[in-house]
Structure 1
């Protein structure tokens, strides 16, 4: 495993508790104002009966979808996050990393597969995306919400590359931050195409205060 990919997993193991507190305490302004609702709206538009949330964290999206009658399975590589999710309930939860899913260990299918700010790696994400078509029911869709590349690129070159992470705006109690793999819009489209997923809709939720894109949502179906 690449050192950056390994660091991502290690950092999330270390920061499971403060992350759970940040999400449940609604400490992240962009999520509270824009992105949580944007993800829910994108899923609702598909009218699914079943869903799989990859990288579910402490389980907020699983609980929100289950409350609307959608049978949802949440999966995360961090056992502490899965334990926190199970403590609250509201859906099924399973501890499994992306490598296992990429290898075909997840024997589930759903109308919607969601990845809400959970695709942080490079090669690990590419491998995971290649496994997604087998997880989709007929006419199913993958819904990815991620950082908007135009908004978060900063002064660095606009090119797919590893970047340093930050917990800024997430509250207190965090340790070191994980690296993450920045993808341009073309990089995202290429990754999905290589996984035999066809993008059918692009959504750019705007921040109500700045008017700038708060995130990028890509909706794709099996090609």
Structure 2
């Protein structure tokens, strides 16, 4: 008999994403999420290109849109995700230009990566709204120096903590998830581990990483921040 993981746990994060892989793929490909369409998709691509990597590890790549977008700029991209259905969807979708190289995709968890499952090394690792757990995220970030080329860097885009906090106390900890901005096709949302801005900085420091950049992209209409961008390296 399969046991249901605790409501607030890294295991439940993965279980919920397995349950919602199909509607998520549809929402991304239909550009149905306004904040992504207006701000966050563009900003993560622009930031990655400014960092000028030759190779990228797309961590938590989902259905692969970012991997494909970076390949259009001649970057070698390896997308990994723990959700097999998302990796299958990524492999079925081709890049927009016939001349662009295709990303490589593998189904790997963050625990797999922390345990040394990757043999290649990369100039840049990107986590685009894909750091939702607690221990799994800490283990992954601690493993980053082992997957980088010399002078490798990490780019994180995540929900803007003060904006995402709502009425809850502004403290690190587990929160219930939401599919706000998505349609009714979604099932139960994944929980997520909320971190304050200070919590993110402290996590990077505990992982042996040094914060190099911090930015807060804003919505073009409301003028409010929609995400937090962090760039770090091994110092």
Shared fold per TM-score greater than 0.5:
yes
1:60 deviates by 0.2
Q: Deviations over 1:164-221 (max 9, x none)?
A: 0011102231100011000011110111111111010011100011111110000001
Corresponding residue number in structure 2 for 1:161: 173
Q: TM-score, normalised by structure 1?
A: 0.97
Q: Which runs of 4+ in 1 moved over 6 A?
A: none
SS of corresponding position for 1:125:
helix
| Aligned with residue 208 of structure 2, among 196, 205, 211 | 196
1:68: how far off?
A: 0.5
Distance 1:220 1:136 in 2: 12
Whole-angstrom CA distance in 1 between matches of 2:81 and 2:121: 17
| Aligned twin of 2:76 | 71
In the alignment, what sits opposite 2:99?
none
TM-score (norm 2): 0.92
Give the C-alpha shift of residue 133 in structure 1. 1.2
Query: Are 1:92 and 2:104 matched, yes or no?
Result: yes
Among 119, 139, 146, the residue aligned to 2:151: 139
In 2: Cα distance, 1:53 partner to 1:201 partner: 19
Question: Do the aligned partners of 1:76 and 1:95 also contact (CA within 8 Å) in 2?
Answer: yes
The root-mean-square deviation of aligned C-alpha atoms, in Å, is: 0.9
Q: Is the CA contact (8 Å cut-off) linking 1:28 and 1:171 kept in structure 2? A: no
